């Protein structure tokens, strides 16, 4: 290929005069470096977005802010690159090492900031600014280096093609490999090591043109060593930091593709947290699960086929299986790690009476929306025990489209009951679920229960036929629910009574907005 040359003011390297010569090997290494660093850059964005969502909820907000600030500061870095006029390869290597270091420790820094201070957002913004500014410097520098081998239009086309390819790889391996098998903090350390390693490979390839080669080599090795130590001890570090977040000792922690799972224990109180949000306390969980099962099941003409959406802990299945005429309980929970806990963990087995191992139970690890759309089965009852609608992925499971699809899977006299957050703490969100159900079903009945671990907590019952829900016997053993208690669950205080809301649809997701606004008043 013809050597077109570059301006000396742009790409004068130490030890050369005029136009530098790039070998095919050097060009390939630079291209590989762009591929790897592009992959690392997107992983850092996904890491910070995911970690912010795990710790603080509101995935829409945090993904939007992270991507927006990343793009802005990358622009700042690109603009600043015009002031780098000498020793371009050496500066490129320095930038790569710096990105590897800051990106590698980013998750640890954010965990620390969240656990030990009130300045998480400031810390996140500083980390984003540093990483993205440095990333913004990369492509302009490489473009100016490679102009020694090709025209500008070809150089930019090739660089951007490789850059986007790296982003594609990152978007695939992050949710499918990195998070499930390494977790967020170990992923950060691992990607930082990779980022720094490619910088050292580039250093070796361009050794004749680098004045401070020994210094960069020492710096790169030091960064890789430090990140390797962090990688090895990341579990201990996470455990130490999470000890400041949770009041009680942590007895189990794991990170799946979908959520951070934490189990704590204090005396006889075992608590499950998903992404920092409490899911149950063993002391009072029955006050939540009994109404979810025993308000509708005694009323049904038949309860042979029961569908549970969510409920991977097996506690709701425990209540359903108390009815001997139930033939099949299908539990649909997207997170296999959660259902494995419910099925195999001795603590959960004790809490759920080994319900997940009952021969009547069928476990399906699939997205509930997809399952409902693809299923051809008919169910007498659908019990929805899903997480609160704090992001779009969960919000769709409270949409009118979802409820209409469930209606098709219910028998003509079947019933649906869903948890619907708190009518007190998230009042508009709670009544939004009612408005949404009313778009799909002829009869919708709200109710609530007081759970000490949660506070006032609400449900909605929906069906195509009318049922008298406030009277009748409960034919199974319960700890809290009795025939005399049931009528009180349908009475709402003045500060929890219905307020007008929009219907939650897939194209507006108003419920997520209501939910965030409601809980933000209390946080």
What's CA 221's distance to the chain center, in Å? Answer: 33
pLDDT at res. 4:
36
* CA–CA dist 496, 503 (Å, integer): 19
- State what percent of residues in the chain have pLDDT above 70: 94
Q: Is domain 284-520 given the CATH code 3.40.50.150 in the classification?
A: yes
Catalytic residue among 163, 313, 333, 385: 385
Q: What is the pLDDT of residues 32-67, one digit of tens each?
A: 888 998 899 999 999 999 888 877 766 777 888 899
Query: Which long-range contacts does 62-67 make (Cβ < 8 Å, 24+ apart)?
Result: 66/124, 66/128
Q: What is the pLDDT of residues 294-349, one digit of tens each?
A: 999 999 999 999 999 999 999 999 999 999 999 999 999 999 999 999 999 999 99
| Coil/strand/helix, residue 421 | coil
Which residue in this structure is represented by tokens 């907000």?
61
pLDDT at res. 459:
98
What's CA 214's distance to the chain center, in Å? Answer: 41
What's CA 351's distance to the chain center, in Å? Answer: 26
| Coil/strand/helix, residue 492 | coil
| Verdict on whether the full-model pTM lies above 0.85 | no
Query: Residue 358 catalytic?
Result: no
The DSSP call for residue 261 is: E
| Coil/strand/helix, residue 280 | strand
pLDDT at res. 471:
86
Is residue 486's pLDDT more than 70? yes
Q: State residue 112 phi and psi, 5-degree precision.
A: -65, -45
Is residue 9's pLDDT more than 70? no
Q: Residue 403: pLDDT band by 50, 70, 90 thresholds?
A: very high
pLDDT at res. 282:
96
pLDDT at res. 5:
36
pLDDT at res. 248:
85
3-state secondary structure 295-328: CCHHHCCCCCEEEEEECCCCHHHHHHCCCCCCCE
314: left (phi over 0), alpha (psi -120 to 50) or beta: left
* Cα–Cα separations (whole angstroms), residue 405 to 46, 297, 332, 397, 506: 32, 21, 15, 11, 13
Q: Which residues make Cβ contacts (< 8 Å) with residue 92, sequence separation at least 6?
A: 138, 141, 142, 145, 202
Extents of the domains making up the chain: 8-240, 244-278, 284-520
* Cα–Cα separations (whole angstroms), residue 368 to 81, 108, 166, 374: 48, 33, 32, 10
pLDDT at res. 188:
95
Which carries the bigger pLDDT value, residue 376 or residue 144?
Answer: 376
Q: Which residues make Cβ contacts (< 8 Å) with residue 113, sequence separation at least 6?
A: 119, 120, 123, 124
pLDDT at res. 182:
87
**Would you state the structure tokens that stand for residue 434, as one six-digit string?**
């009612």
For 471, counting Cβ atoms within 10 Å of its Cβ (0-12 exposed, 13-18 middle, 19+ buried), the class is exposed
Length of the chain: 523
Whether the CB-CB separation of 293 and 380 falls below 8 Å is answered with no
pLDDT at res. 24:
79
pLDDT at res. 141:
85
Q: What is the pLDDT of residues 227-253, one digit of tens each?
A: 999 999 988 888 778 777 787 888 998
* Among 27-36, 197-206, 266-275, 360-369, the range of highest mean pLDDT: 360-369
Pick the CATH number of 8-240 from 1.20.1530, 2.60.40, 1.20.1250, 1.20.140: 1.20.1250
Whether the CB-CB separation of 466 and 449 falls below 8 Å is answered with no
* CA–CA dist 517, 510 (Å, integer): 11
What number is the average pLDDT over the span 372-383?
A: 95
Q: What is the pLDDT of residues 259-282, one digit of tens each?
A: 889 999 999 999 999 888 889 999
């Amino acid at each position: 290929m013809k050597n077109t040359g570059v301006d000396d003011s742009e790409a004068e390297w130490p030890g050369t005069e005029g136009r530098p010569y790039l070998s095919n090997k050097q060009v390939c290494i630079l291209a590989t470096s762009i591929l790897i660093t592009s992959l690392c850059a997107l992983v850092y964005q996904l890491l910070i977005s995911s970690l912010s969502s795990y710790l603080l909820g509101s995935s829409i907000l945090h993904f939007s802010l992270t991507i927006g600030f990343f793009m802005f500061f990358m622009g700042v870095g690109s603009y600043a690159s015009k002031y780098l006029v000498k020793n371009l390869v050496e500066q490129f290597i320095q930038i790569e090492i710096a990105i590897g270091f800051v990106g590698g420790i980013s998750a640890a820094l954010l965990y620390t900031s969240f656990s030990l201070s009130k300045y998480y957002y400031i810390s996140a913004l500083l980390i984003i600014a540093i990483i993205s500014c440095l990333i913004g410097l990369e492509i302009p520098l490489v473009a100016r280096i490679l102009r020694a081998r090709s025209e500008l239009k070809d150089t930019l086309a090739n660089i951007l093609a490789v850059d986007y390819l790296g982003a594609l790889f990152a978007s695939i391996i992050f949710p499918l490999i990195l998070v499930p098998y390494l977790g967020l903090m170990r992923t950060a350390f691992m990607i930082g090591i990779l980022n720094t390693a490619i910088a050292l490979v580039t250093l070796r390839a361009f050794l004749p043109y680098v004045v401070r080669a020994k210094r960069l080599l020492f710096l790169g090795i030091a960064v890789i060593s430090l990140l390797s130590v962090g990688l090895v001890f990341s579990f201990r570090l996470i455990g130490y930091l999470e000890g400041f977040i949770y009041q009680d000792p942590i007895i189990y922690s794991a990170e799946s593709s979908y959520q951070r799972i934490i189990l704590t224990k204090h005396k006889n109180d075992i608590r499950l947290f998903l992404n920092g949000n409490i899911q149950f306390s063993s002391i009072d969980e029955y006050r939540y699960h009994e109404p979810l099962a025993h308000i509708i099941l005694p009323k049904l003409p038949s309860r042979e086929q029961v569908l549970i959406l969510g409920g991977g802990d097996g506690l709701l299945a425990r209540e359903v299986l108390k009815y001997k005429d139930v033939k099949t309980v299908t539990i649909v929970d997207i997170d296999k790690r959660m259902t494995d806990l419910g099925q195999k963990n001795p603590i959960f087995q004790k809490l759920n009476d080994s319900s997940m191992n009952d021969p009547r139970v069928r476990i399906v690890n699939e997205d509930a929306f997809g399952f409902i759309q693809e299923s051809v089965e008919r169910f007498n009852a659908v019990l929805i025990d899903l997480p609160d609608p704090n992001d779009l992925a969960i919000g769709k499971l409270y949409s009118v489209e979802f409820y209409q699809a469930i209606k098709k899977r219910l028998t003509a006299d079947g019933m649906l009951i869903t948890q619907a957050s708190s009518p007190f703490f998230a009042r508009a969100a709670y009544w939004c679920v009612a408005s949404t159900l009313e778009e799909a079903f002829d009869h919708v009945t709200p109710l609530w229960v007081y759970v000490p671990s949660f506070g006032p907590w609400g449900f909605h019952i929906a069906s195509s036929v009318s049922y008298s829900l406030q009277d009748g016997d409960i034919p199974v053993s319960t700890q809290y629910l009795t025939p005399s208690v049931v009528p009180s669950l349908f009475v709402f205080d003045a500060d929890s009574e219905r307020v007008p809301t929009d219907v939650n649809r897939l194209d507006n997701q108003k419920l997520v907005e209501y939910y965030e606004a409601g809980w933000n008043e209390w946080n």
